[in-house]
Chain A
Amino acid sequence: EVQLQQSGAELGKPGTSVKLSCKVSGYNIRNTYMHWVNQRPGKGLEWIGRIDPANGNTIYAEKFKSKATLTADTSSNTAYMQLSQLKSDDTAIYFCAMGVYYGYVMDAWGQGASVTVSS
């Protein structure tokens, strides 16, 4: 069974950074892309970007290019997302997601990690 286990809730102060993790079991992340998606309170889903863990190549949505940094460690089968210069607008649930069975469609999702930005 493929599982994506995300790190726990984070509380960050404005201007600081947080780093979220997504540890995968049951599938080699080198064989897929890892996507990150956020959901602000009461809002819809928003794609942040994706990384190809096999070579580290990344693509970001324009608005997240200076906000998010995606990395992956294939030795531990774990993907990471660092969010920098936190603002209250970054308060959201962050999901990792990847394609396992249907090409690069996001068919496996982590449980989500809450990030709250508050002084």
Chain B
Amino acid sequence: DIVLTQSPVLAVSLGQRATISCRASQSVSISSINLMHWYQQKPGQQPKLLIYRASNLASGIPARFSGSGSGTDFTLTIDPVQADDIAAYYCQQSRESPLTFGSGTKLEIK
């Protein structure tokens, strides 16, 4: 199984940049298509897709969210961070079954 590793907590100040990383135990890319996706989950809610295939913004998601990376290393950036962004963020790969999620990064305000 592909293991995705995320740091558990990230604390940032409002208005600053947040960089959330996700490292895969093996490449999740196929022919330059990066099969890594990012979700936001607020307490008591279902996950919401933010970024698909590493760098594509899902419909309705603010442009302060962006994604980058390829192969095994991926990053979700929130710039600038707003109070409404307090949530858990999960990466997820669809390169192969079983699909796997990272353990999640909780974004906190300093």
Contacts and interface: CB of A to CB of B under 8 A. Distances in A.
Interface of A: 35, 37, 44-47, 49-50, 59-62, 95, 97, 101-102, 104-107, 109-112
B53 A105 contact: yes
Interface string B68-110: 0000000000000000000010101010011111111000000
Given A45-B47, A111-B46, A112-B46, A105 B103 contact: no
B46 A61 contact: no
Contact of A102 (B52, B101, B103): B52
Interface of B: 37, 39, 41, 46-49, 52-53, 56, 58-59, 88, 90, 92, 94, 97-104
Given A50-B99, A61-B97, 13 more contacts: A37-B47, A44-B90, A44-B104, A45-B39, A45-B90, A45-B104, A47-B101, A95-B47, A102-B58, A105-B37, A105-B52, A107-B49, A109-B46
Contact of B52 (A45, A50, A107, A112): A107
A44 B92 CA distance: 11
- Those 10 A-B pairs whose CB atoms lie nearest each other, nearest first: A61-B98, A109-B46, A45-B101, A47-B99, A105-B52, A107-B49, A44-B104, A102-B52, A44-B103, A59-B97
Contacts of B90: 44-45
A32 B94 CA distance: 14
Contact of B58 (A62, A97, A107, A111): A107
Contacts of B94: 104-105
Which of B46, B47, B58, B100: most chain A CB closer than 10 A? B46
A46 B47 CA distance: 12
